[in-house]
Structure 1
């Protein structure tokens, strides 16, 4: 059995890119009461805008702008009512009267995006009857193609028209992206569709787009409210992350050299998952849980010997610290941090929600530890699992299930034994979200992890199992990601006993995964894009023209 004094493996993780002393001192003027009062006044103006009568396409574009600017959470009732009015006034004849691909595709996307089911058949009139392909005449309709492309990512499994829409629109836009007047919009869409982008970052980008677009039909009050609201919410994020930095430093785990010190990145994950300001309890507790997941993952992957990991797993199963001295000092410290953090969260839930959550969290930690141990066994026995064998363990081991479980009990006022047991059974919507997290992680990190001697990841499991090339394997895994998105699209519209912020968190965990692992390992190597994204969400306020904002608030 290894001891802390013996030579251990090292992953040579980079240190944190953040100065925690500076993080703890973060403050914002937008946390003052006067700014929140201005937001409240401006919200009333936007409610009137959403309710007022206007041409159908203009109404749809306005709703789209409200949501892309990050304001949707303020106007959920008004948006639902406006879209219901669109449905009530949209007979089958009305769909066909609009020979406008942009309006049809935008309407389809917004309805599915907001929980209304609409059939893919609304696109049939834009297709040729003989080939079931989209008409050649649409190739010059760039606005329509962009809307069709974005709508296609809301397809369900087995929807052939939506698959064709994605292929057709992607091909057309690829051919247009170089010199077209809309090249910037086209390239942004092809880089990643709106459906896969985290709301807060898309909101920040969309503000700049609206500012630059001199021909925009956007009402100025929307943009002004979006900027002010972004800064007010950012002030809340700053307070939250400064307190978490103090907790992390006091815990002393930022001094552990064998593991990833990623507090800021963990906070970003969780702020992207549940971004609404009123859910600070989720961001605080789930960030702490995410820190524990990464810490224990590194214990199992890098630090512990096989014998130590077997013993650690038994301690997690028993959830008992009476004989904790049997663990080596460093592993003992890590287990105690996990144990105490979980119990603190359990105490909060008992005090605020009146429910004992610890047995359910313990069950999920047992599942985590068993899959971590199974992966450690593969490493020590030089076992090369099949892709399915690997996914059976690794979709759990990556930790998405625990975080998504947190998103329910920290945001819901009505906890029940039946609902929590349902979540612990890992329903499809949780599994698909975690599968996307696992696959996007592997597509980005496999080469580096294999180089340092880690287990096979999904990429290498499939290549070893089938003999496929790396290019063909990447294509296969990306297709699995797309299929998981289709299933999740359907799951969030179907009746679900755990609706509300939980379903949004399932979608947003997948979106955050697409962001973190789009170009590189944005979690393990947290510089460049990840650091810039953190600055956009937490550090950089949106410039506001004070005179105009004050006028809009006072009118």
Structure 2
């Protein structure tokens, strides 16, 4: 039941019940239980063990992957699964899902992931001996799991997919039947999830209109150069992580992303070096005197955003964080200026020098640190912006830079810009471009495991809402730069945006949701 609530995006309505159930599951987990010997019992046991591990680790409990990797060490069980993998398709799918939460040095989990992936790929390719066992819907779910990394998925769209998936409530496949959770409860849950999704869509559309209005008022949407990404920015922020509806957080992150995009393009393609130095100095002094044109527009937008955010934080904590906000924006503009000087002078810093600067210029910290203060009222910005930054923030900054560079090196090579993939080739003349990409991908895999450890494990110096925002930011970058540079495309995100904000989910055999009231009241408990 808890798993279904998480997958459908309903946990905010059942926080107390969810926490009580997870605490009970954890108490049971700590008592070692004997492995069931019957073949049918193995499927049930393994399925429950996978869900248990996934739920507990996702919610901060310290659990070992050995709790469900046990079957690899039981030759008879492993051989039976290999021989009848079609009947274990949903079990293998959940084994693979559990392996998404892999932390550093979990070698057994690596083996389990490889084992489950091998048979899931067979099923996805259609090369199974039991076509009647694997429904087209179930095969589609397997293909989705294999093709799109978990960290590249946006929660809101995942909730929609789970709503529309007719096999979502199948627990495991049997030789003569499939086993589902309670049908009566399923209908009630799906109806609630449908209403909740449509409610969120209506809220998101209203907030997008507000952000668009701000973008037009500040002049950022009418700059006449570069990328206009107002809708992209809001869509990514709103759909990335399942947090209780908080308009202030979504708006401040979306507005920050819009400014970052426009400012980056100004530094990359529009401003003269003199213009860039003037704008950077103005941001660092927090004084726009002498600025004109695009530089003045960008500076005023930053000041407007910071001023509005200061007021919200002061109401919440009684603290004025103006100086800290100025500092993090100032260091980001400085990093853009340094990269512009490197590119225009033809200089080539070392990969380490570039990464030290690039982890700031990607500006991920600007998206998560101020918003963390709103997500967790007890968290002050000076705690988050300590020097150096918290490990989770530094990891986010490095990972997002490398994700960007691995998909943008071709464009940036043509533009004469610096890029980690290209600098690695300069430092390693015998390496090919494939070698460089493989090296960056290896780095990313190791860094993401370390990042996930900071997100999920307790105790942690940062509160959970802040860590969830860090995870959401990484998911957004991973989504945009998973297999191509989707952020620079004008139409690549169109269908996802429509599904997230406009088109209601299509669920057969469910009543259409009631029309929403014009004035949205508080959400029911």
In the superposition, the TM-score normalised over structure 1's length comes to: 0.80
1:457 aligns with 2:404: no
Pair 1:283 & 2:239 matched: no
Matched, 1:188 2:173: no
5+ long unaligned stretches in structure 1? 1-61, 551-555
> Contact 1:120 / 1:161 at 8 angstroms: preserved in 2?
yes
Displacement of 1:64 in angstroms is 1.6
Q: 1:370 to 1:96 in 2, by over 3 A?
A: farther
Please report how far the alpha carbon of residue 229 of structure 1 lies from its aligned counterpart in structure 2 after TM superposition.
Answer: 0.2
The equivalent of 1:259 in structure 2 is 226
Residue 78 (structure 1) aligns with:
17
**Alpha-carbon distance in structure 1 between the residues aligned to 2:118 and 2:357:** 37
Shift of 1:91: 4.4
RMSD: 2.6
Q: 411-420 vs 362-371, which deviates more?
A: 411-420
Query: Cα gap change, 1:386/1:171 in structure 2, threshold over 3 Å: closer, same or farther?
Result: farther
1:90 corresponds to 2:53: no
Rate the CA distance shift 1:354–1:244 in 2: closer, same or farther, 3 A: same
What does 1:313-352 align with in structure 2 at a 5 Å threshold?
313-321=280-288, 324-325=289-290, 327-352=291-316
Provide the residue aligned with 1:138 in structure 2: 81
Matching residue of 1:499: 463
In structure 1, the residue matched to 2:158 is 202
Q: Which residue of 1 aligns with 2:521?
A: none
Q: 1:430 aligns with which of 375, 393, 396?
A: 393
SS state of the match for residue 144, structure 2?
helix
Please point out which of 406, 414, 418 is paired with 1:443.
406
Map of 2:66 onto structure 1 = 121
Q: CA deviation at 1:532?
A: 1.4
CA distance in 2, matches of 1:549, 1:312: 50
1:157 aligns with 2:119: no
* Cα offset, 1:173, TM superposition: 2.1
Residue 151 of structure 2 contacts residue 474 of structure 2 at CA under 8 Å; is this kept in 1? no
Distance 2:258 2:513 in 1: 39
Distance in 1 between residues matched to 2:69 and 2:215, nearest whole Å = 55
Q: Flag the structure with more relative contact order, 1 or 2, with Cα contacts below 8 A and sequence separation at least 6.
A: 1
Please give the residue correspondences for 1:267-416 in structure 2 after superposition, counting only pairs within 5 Å: 267-321=234-288, 324-325=289-290, 327-416=291-380
Q: Confirm or deny: 8 A CA contact 1:265 1:526 kept in the other structure.
A: no
What is the CA-CA distance between 1:463 and the residue it aligns to? 2.6
Look up the match of 1:107.
Answer: 52
Offset at 1:92?
A: 4.3
CA distance in 2, matches of 1:510, 1:136: 38
Q: Runs of 5+ in structure 2 lacking a partner?
A: 129-133, 171-177, 515-525
1:314 & 1:145 partners in 2: Cα distance?
A: 56
The one of 223, 229, 245 aligned to 2:212 = 245
- Scaled by the length of structure 2, the TM-score of the pair is 0.85
The alpha carbon displacement at 1:211 in A equals 7.2
Query: Structure 1 residues 549 and 279, CA, compared in 2 at 3 Å: closer, same or farther?
Result: closer
Structure-2 residue corresponding to 1:3: none
- Decide whether aligned partners of structure 1 residues 420 and 90 sit closer, same or farther in structure 2, where only a CA change above 3 A counts: closer
Per the TM alignment, residue 508 of structure 1 is displaced from its structure 2 partner at its CA by 1.2
Deviates more, 1:109-118 or 1:253-262: 253-262
Instruction: State the number of aligned residues.
Output: 480
Q: Deviations over 1:142-171 (max 9, x none)?
A: 222211211112111111112222223223
Deviation at 1:338, TM superposition (A): 1.7
1:393-416 per-residue CA deviation (whole Å, 9 max, x = no partner) reads 112111110110122112222244
